[in-house]
């Protein structure tokens, strides 16, 4: 049998070399590990729980749901069966050249985000965090190593682009959608194609349990859901059972093949075309076993057989036996795709979903009941809704009434969205801040309901000094305004904040303003302004808020710009005297600061000892000032683009131009205004 190797792929992967890389989904409430060799999860999580998550939910809880997973592809090629797998039963998971781990990396893990303020923002991103890897099974040797991939003499010649999508919305932060774009890059046709998702899902709390080895994995049960496309796992027993109470699940969302949507819901379409209809198969076996309900498929023929058929269907009381505690490997597959020709691609799309196992007061012998699975069913439904988008009837075609955004194409990955983030301008002043924002949120139209469902605004503020304690992101709601005449919110209206006439600042028009007085100059406050909607009773949604992270500002109140056109101009320093360490300072000499105040738009500050020796020189450009010239703001003020100053103040770190701490004593300063040439001179004291 000839070995099919696509030369350009082999050359590119050899050039890149084989370098294992992994990165984690973390944007929402689920943490999933992704590697550039096509595996998901972190099989060593039991022995190393302090590292990256495997498939953790809720995030930072220690409750893991997956140890490793990967793609299986089976097809007939010239009448012979070939199966390529990216993961199989192996205690320590992926290892270079290990049998069954037959895909090699075509590059590193790349990250994209649809969030505008994210460092990985891209207009082509699908979700709040996309992790994308490209792999191929075409190599029979690990690129760059000369190591043969064990038992992988006959590759399919597949190239796979694996994209994992996750969101941080509260109604969508419990699943990850994985899209496998599978391309036949060989010169031969693939016939009777089946694609599957192999997984070792086990629910355990790795922070609590003391079980190790086989005892750790042998406490799991599994179930098949009546939707024909999903299975789930749960914990039956174990020393951590009270600390877990969780489900992990996998759902096949469908296969996009040519112009067709290959899914059991679209079965009749394929019958009408004279093709074998789509079928989802389930197989479970005891880890790496040769006996039991079903056995580990060790050969390509055996692997193709389990991709093609649910072997447990002939076993009496099969589904009840699945719920007994043991270490079950899972394989869910779909097919047969009639053919994938050279150069043709198909998208195989999966959802990995987690949910709390709800208490069932009527259960007597098991924790796994229909009541216990209620949240899981809702979460699975949200994953499906997200993927199918406008394709409400799941037929793969844009039908009348489905084009929600009127772009004349069938769009997937559509979620209800909160209102647009308010366009906001922060203007600090002397012991105050004024927050201006536009009315852009009011015109927001939800992509699902097509309704203008804007309800109101919320304003949050951090506590004084929380930046130093590490709790700067903990915000308190300090004001809320919402629409009159409904059952949502306070019904207090917008009269308090609506301007009689819009205010224009730097060509942007603002329609609302809220003033906060009594702030302490020189201290940093975090403000967040959000817009929220009315929610959706039909979808079971509470009101949705716009992003907290994209509209957050680090604000320092202080004096505004001064004028030096006459002799009344003065410049101050505070605290004066500076006593050892101000209350707002960090813990070391590099994170101290005092302020020069009442500065002009462009001036130079020179600091001297009383004997006239130069100590430091500071250039103040109010328009560009973000505090980035001193360590304090680097350590405690987050992203410089969100820092807002009053314009008339500039912080100094009490370090000389050479970076040395200054001694206690009296100091002279001179401030020269560049627009008039005037110079103001003064003194301040440092006491240690």
Q: What is the mean pLDDT of each run of 10 residues along the chain (688 residues)?
A: 34 52 92 97 89 89 94 96 97 92 96 90 96 97 88 96 92 94 97 98 90 90 92 94 93 96 95 96 90 81 95 86 92 97 98 95 82 96 92 88 81 87 95 97 82 93 77 79 91 96 95 97 92 83 78 92 93 94 81 95 97 96 92 76 92 94 95 97 94
Nearest-angstrom CA–CA distance, 41 and 66: 6
Put the strands of the sheet holding 649-652 in their side by side order: 572-574, 594-597, 649-652
3-class DSSP assignment, residue 386? helix
Q: In angstroms, how far is the first alpha carbon of the chain from the final one?
A: 83
Nearest-angstrom CA–CA distance, 33 and 194: 25
Contact yes or no for 551/532 (Cβ under 8 A): no
Domains of the chain, residue spans: 7-388, 424-556, 572-687
Q: Would you give the DSSP letter of residue 528?
A: E
State the pLDDT at residue 550.
67
Cα–Cα distances in Å, from 648 out to 25, 202, 594? 43, 59, 14
State the pLDDT at residue 450.
74
Where does 317-444 have alpha helices with state H? 318-322, 374-388
State the pLDDT at residue 17.
54
Cα–Cα distances in Å, from 237 out to 224, 319, 325? 19, 18, 7
Strand ranges (E), 4-98 = 22-25, 31-35, 55-56, 63-64, 68-77, 80-85
Residue whose token pair is 């193709």: 304
CATH of domain 572-687: 2.60.40.1930
* CATH architecture for segment(s) 424-556: Sandwich (2.60)
Contact yes or no for 196/16 (Cβ under 8 A): no
Nearest-angstrom CA–CA distance, 345 and 366: 44
Cα–Cα distances in Å, from 687 out to 342, 577, 586, 614, 664? 78, 7, 17, 19, 5
Nearest-angstrom CA–CA distance, 59 and 232: 19
pTM for this one?
A: 0.69
Cα–Cα distances in Å, from 519 out to 149, 151, 180, 558, 612? 65, 70, 53, 9, 37
Name the maximum alpha-carbon separation found in the chain: 98
Strand partners, 351: 177, 251
Where does 255-343 have alpha helices with state H? 267-272, 300-308, 318-322
State the pLDDT at residue 18.
58
State the pLDDT at residue 69.
98
State the pLDDT at residue 7.
34
State the pLDDT at residue 420.
87
DSSP H or E segment with residue 621: strand 614-621
Same fold, 424-556 and 572-687: yes
Contact yes or no for 9/17 (Cβ under 8 A): no
Count of Cβ atoms closer than 10 Å to residue 208 Cβ? 17
């Amino acid at each position: 049998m000839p070995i099919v190797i696509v030369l350009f792929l082999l050359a590119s992967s050899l050039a890149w070399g084989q370098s294992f890389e992994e990165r984690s989904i973390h944007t929402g409430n689920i943490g999933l590990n992704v590697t550039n060799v096509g595996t998901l999860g972190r099989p060593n999580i039991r022995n190393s729980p302090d590292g990256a998550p495997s498939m953790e939910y809720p995030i930072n809880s220690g409750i893991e749901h997956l140890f490793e997973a990967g793609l299986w592809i089976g097809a007939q090629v010239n009448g012979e069966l070939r199966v390529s797998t990216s993961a199989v039963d192996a205690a320590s998971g992926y290892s270079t050249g290990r049998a069954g781990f037959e895909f090699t990396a075509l590059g590193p893990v790349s990250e994209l985000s649809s969030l505008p303020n994210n460092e990985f923002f891209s207009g082509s991103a699908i979700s709040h965090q996309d992790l994308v890897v490209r792999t191929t099974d075409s190599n029979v040797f690990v690129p760059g190593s000369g190591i043969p991939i064990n038992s992988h003499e006959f590759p399919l010649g597949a190239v796979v682009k694996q994209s994992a999508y996750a969101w941080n919305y509260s109604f969508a932060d419990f699943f990850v959608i994985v899209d496998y774009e599978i391309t036949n890059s060989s010169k031969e046709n693939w016939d009777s194609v089946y694609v599957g998702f192999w997984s070792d899902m086990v629910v355990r709390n790795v922070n609590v349990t003391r079980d190790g080895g086989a005892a750790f994995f042998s406490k799991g049960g599994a179930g098949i859901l009546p939707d024909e496309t999903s299975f789930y796992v749960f914990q039956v027993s174990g020393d951590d059972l009270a600390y877990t109470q969780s489900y992990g699940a996998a759902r096949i969302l469908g296969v996009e093949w040519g112009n067709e949507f290959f899914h059991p819901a679209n079965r009749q379409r394929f019958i009408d075309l004279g093709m074998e209809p789509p079928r989802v198969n389930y197989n479970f076996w005891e880890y790496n076993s040769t006996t039991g309900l079903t056995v580990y498929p060790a050969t390509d023929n055996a692997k193709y057989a389990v991709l093609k058929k649910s072997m447990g269907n002939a076993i009496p009381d099969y589904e009840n036996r699945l719920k007994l505690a043991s270490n079950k490997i899972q394989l869910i597959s779909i097919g047969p795709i009639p053919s994938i020709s050279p150069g043709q691609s198909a998208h195989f799309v999966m959802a990995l979903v987690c949910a709390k196992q709800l208490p069932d007061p009527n259960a007597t012998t098991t924790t796994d009941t229909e009541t216990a699975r209620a949240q899981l069913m809702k979460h699975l439904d949200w994953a499906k809704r997200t993927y199918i988008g406008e394709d409400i009837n799941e037929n793969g075609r844009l039908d009348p009434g489905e084009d929600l955004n009127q772009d004349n194409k069938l769009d997937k990955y559509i979620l209800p969205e909160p209102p647009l983030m308010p366009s906001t301008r922060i203007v600090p002043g002397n012991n105050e801040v004024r927050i201006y924002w536009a009315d852009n949120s009011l015109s927001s139209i939800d992509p699902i309901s097509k309704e203008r469902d804007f309800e109101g605004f919320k304003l949050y503020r951090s506590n004084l000094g929380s930046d130093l304690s590490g709790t700067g992101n903990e915000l308190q709601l300090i004001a809320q305004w919402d629409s009159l005449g409904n059952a949502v919110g306070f019904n207090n209206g917008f009269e308090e904040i609506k301007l009689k006439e819009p205010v224009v600042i730097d060509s942007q028009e603002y329609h609302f303003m809220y003033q906060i007085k009594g702030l302490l100059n020189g201290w940093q406050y975090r403000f967040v302004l959000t817009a929220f909607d009315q929610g959706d009773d039909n979808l079971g949604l509470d009101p949705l808020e716009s992003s907290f992270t994209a509209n957050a500002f680090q604000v320092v109140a202080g004096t505004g710009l001064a004028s030096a056109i006459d002799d009344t101009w003065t410049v101050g320093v505070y605290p004066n005297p500076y006593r050892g360490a101000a209350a707002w300072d960090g813990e070391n000499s590099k994170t101290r600061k005092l302020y020069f105040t009442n500065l002009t738009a462009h001036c130079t500050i020179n600091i001297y000892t009383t004997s006239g020796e130069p100590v430091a020189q500071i250039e103040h450009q109010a328009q560009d000032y973000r505090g980035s010239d001193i360590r304090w703001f680097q350590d405690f003020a987050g992203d410089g683009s969100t820092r807002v100053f009053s314009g008339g103040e500039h912080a100094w770190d009490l370090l000389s131009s050479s970076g040395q701490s200054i001694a206690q004593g009296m100091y002279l300063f001179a401030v020269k205004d560049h627009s008039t040439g005037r110079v103001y001179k003064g003194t301040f004291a440092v006491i240690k």
